[in-house]
Structure 1
Amino acid sequence: MNGNWSPRTLAIVAGRPTGEGEPMNPPIVPASTLGLDYSREEGTPTWAALETAIGELEGGTATAFASGIGAVSAVLDLVPVGGVVVVPSDSYAGTRALFDHAERAGRIGLRRLAPGDTAAWQAAAGAARLLWLESPTNPSLEPMDVAAVTRAAAAAPERPLVAVDNTFATPLGAQPLAHGADIVVHSATKMIGGHSDLLLGLTVTADERLAGSLRDARARGGATPGALEAWLALRGLRTLPVRYAEASRTAALLAERLAAHPAVTRVRYPGAGAMVAFELADAAAADRMCGLLRLIRHATSLGGVESSIERRAARPGDAHVAAGLLRFSVGLEDPDDLWADLERALGSVV
């Protein structure tokens, strides 16, 4: 693939069939076996097309999984028994639940650090086998200094792996591998798929040895994506640049308006992307607002063309989150319609 092409172009062309007479789009290949091997072990052309495209955007070799948690599980499989994993205290609840379970089973040691305490993360690199980062974190949108942590990891005597969940930023907003991270993880269920119609996870690494280990973990665990899901994720990727740009414009506008509203006590917006986190006075106010919204969907997932919102502290595993915090995924609706919906609902909690 042409390395001079922009990410916007790569999202359109990477992974497409080439050559005279080839189809414009890769076909859906619903094969359980390819010759003498199960597709679980060797992959399929549909998976390969998606993996090629994501790999081009992230700068490494991609591996597709049945879900985001399937991808996280494969990364965890790389940690030796008894190894220490460091995870942000504010991070995706499903990831923390997986790590917590591994700790209770005696599989790993686990440390939880504040996302913004970069010095603590740097100090932890010396004893860790895996540093798990999110930037920004889910759900509170706290930034993390990926470059500083990866530098500390590279200098550690027993260099730990650094994995970054890049779901919120997407390959368009952040390039963790370029900052020294070993593995990037995506829940393609979210922004990459973009239409709330699939479950799929991805890992990307520039280290071919790690790529092979991740694919071995996929085969052993059976976390293989469906052919239709992989095809849908690739189709969603084709429009990611324009969706990301439009959602970013709307999210920035709404974050500014939310910050000026008297009912809102705090707004977190990383400057780009579809995700906004804002806080109301308490849980009752946030729940009341969610119940009054008509256009914005009250739903747990995110990253679709439709806007959605959720009070995360009400969900299992997120009791640490501020009671009135709302995680807002900005979609592609008209910005003025979205603001009218927000403003009307906020008027009930002032």
Structure 2
Amino acid sequence: MTHSQLTTITEADIDDIAIGAAVLGTGGGGDPHVGSLHAKRAIRLHGDVRVLQVADLDPEGLVVPIGMIGAPSVSIERIAGDAEIGRALDLLEQATGRTVAAIMPIEIGGGNSLIPIAAAAERGLPIVDGDAMGRAFPEAQMVTFHLAGYGPGATVLVDAQGNAVLSYPVNGAWSERLARVLTFEMGGSATMIDYAYPGAVVQECAIPGTLTMAREIGGMLRSQALRDDERIDAMLARLGGFRLFDGKVTEIERVVDGGFTRGRAELAGTGVDRGSRFELSFQNEMLLATRDGEVAAVTPDLIAVLDQATGHPITTETLRYGARVTVVAFPCHPQWRTERGIETAGPAYFGYDVPFTPVEALAAEAAPRMEKAA
């Protein structure tokens, strides 16, 4: 099953995009259900959203990433409103003296793929079929603009109370530090704009085609033409991914700490994985997966938890004790496998004492052990 590149986003596309973005979001990026409701409402009120491919951007036109920052556990209850999005865009235009030409997602994950669609509909602007992560990451500097040496520029935060803050962080690390403190004071969730650049810079940095990819993944996982057991396999084949584990959640620890949803989950194997144990560690997003003490996948590669029956993604804030899940992993975009990419979002940055090893290499190493165990 394949889809052509998006040219227009209609209300009918939103559910597929939401499901696919939640898979690519590796458990984070905001709640996809809340984001989909917002995007559908905006399209219903203001009309369909025109889609621009990265290669087709006006080199001089200002492209603005917009989304939510904060702990996913909080964002479920603190939903971004039309006024927040509008005020953030107005403040950026006032600060830069430029008119926004297009909106883009800063990451492809959960609600943060859908809030930009809502913003584009509300402003009558096109949205860019691309983002700056190719997945979701928990911190503001973890974007391809930062990898290419660009700073965050004029940065805007707006909360539900009407507070608005404009700042000019000196680099991505300072952007994260300042935004995280402000977001905590704003109640744990806020609307954010950063890394607003002309189309030429976006063409240099962005990962193209990720909204189209999200729609394609969602279409596979919602397809009535595929059986339950075929949907996940079809998606893995499309993304070059790997099925890591089938199991039941036996323990879950989750806290909101420092503006993030942090925690871990333990799984007991089911089916062919019976007798094995699996552990997931997360900070908004799934970052480390181990099987019987051996690393199975690690950031910046993508780790996703899916409902075993439907294949639909489960976010870090909705993972529950007793859930029967399938854990899968996919290679990240090549920009994240560079030295700067690993330094920015690799396991050592998050405090994990393991080296980064590509998921395909880990899968190849594990295959003989799996065959012997079987």
TM-score, structure 2 normalization: 0.29
Higher RCO (CA < 8 A, seq sep 6+): 2
Q: Max radius of gyration: which structure?
A: 1
TM-score, structure 1 normalization: 0.30
